[in-house]
Amino acid sequence: MSKGLFITLEGGEGAGKSTNLAFVQQWLQRAGREVQVTREPGGTELGERVREILLHRRDLQMSPESEMLLMFAARAEHIVKIIAPALAADKVVLCDRFTDATYAYQGGGRGIPPDRIAVIEDWVQGDLRPDLTLLLDVPVAAGRQRAGQRSEPDRFERENNEFFMRVRATYLARAASEPGRVRVIDASQGLEKVQRQIAMVLEEVVRDR
């Protein structure tokens, strides 16, 4: 049986995903695992081009449905080229965002019904789902303040607080409905405390797998 493990990192703006990704990677490597780090949207040549359109092409208007389908187009390529082969080679795939982000941003944020997202999820992913999702949770105002230090906001970062409150609520609802897979990390604390929480979850979930 494959020992591959699929771990995703999720959270709203300024939650600290990039900051903590390296910590998770190092933890896994110290535990003797081979790690494939990747991200969404992105991870492949096509995916990175789609990411550029989704995040940085301010001149392009798109409907919520087009936005969602572009996320899944990038994801389909990502699964075939990167994720599935790495899992088949018994690696740990550590992915910065995955389909929970589609439910949170295109579902909660843009208002696409979750059952419509689920249809595409099943079609594109088959039975592929993350084994573990670390949801870095921070109140919207605090997260936006952290993210606000960055110079040029992307297309999502220009949305208003209500949008990000819906995103956060959707993430938390998903965590409540799948508590075994989605572990909520209180990311409003200092970095040391955040990483202590992450290490405890990794210890519990990953150590023996």
Minimal distance, residue 75 CB to ligand T5A, in Å: 7
Determine which residue in the list 5, 6, 36, 40 makes contact with ligand T5A, applying CB under 6 A: 40
| 8 A C-beta contact, residue 99 and residue 147 | no
What three-state secondary structure class fits 172?
Answer: helix
| 8 A C-beta contact, residue 98 and residue 79 | no
Determine, following the binding rule CB under 6 A, whether residue 10 of this chain makes contact with ligand T5A.
Answer: no
Residues of span 157-196 touching ligand T5A by CB under 6 A: 187, 190-191, 194
What three-state secondary structure class fits 76?
Answer: helix
Residues of span 42-61 touching ligand T5A by CB under 6 A: 55
Minimal distance, residue 145 CB to ligand T5A, in Å: 9
Give CA–CA dist 13/22, Å, rounded: 18
Give CA–CA dist 7/140, Å, rounded: 24
Minimal distance, residue 1 CB to ligand T5A, in Å: 29
Binding mask 98-117 for ligand T5A (x = CB under 6 A): ---xx--xx-----------
Residue whose tokens read 């300024």: 14
- Residue 91 Cα to chain centre, angstroms: 18
Nearer to ligand T5A, 45 or 90 (CB): 45
Determine which residue in the list 33, 78, 91, 97 makes contact with ligand T5A, applying CB under 6 A: 97
Binding mask 68-87 for ligand T5A (x = CB under 6 A): ---x----------------
Distances from the Cα of 105 to the Cαs of 13, 190, 205, in angstroms? 11, 26, 27
Q: How many chain residues interact with ligand T5A (CB under 6 A)?
A: 26
Residues of span 122-161 touching ligand T5A by CB under 6 A: 146-147, 149, 156
Minimal distance, residue 84 CB to ligand T5A, in Å: 17
**Is-cis flag, bond preceding 41, omega within 30?**
yes
Both tokens of 109, joined, read 């944020």
Give CA–CA dist 192/197, Å, rounded: 9
| 8 A C-beta contact, residue 151 and residue 202 | no
Under the rule (CB under 6 A), what is the footprint of ligand T5A? 11, 13-19, 40-41, 55, 71, 96-97, 101-102, 105-106, 146-147, 149, 156, 187, 190-191, 194
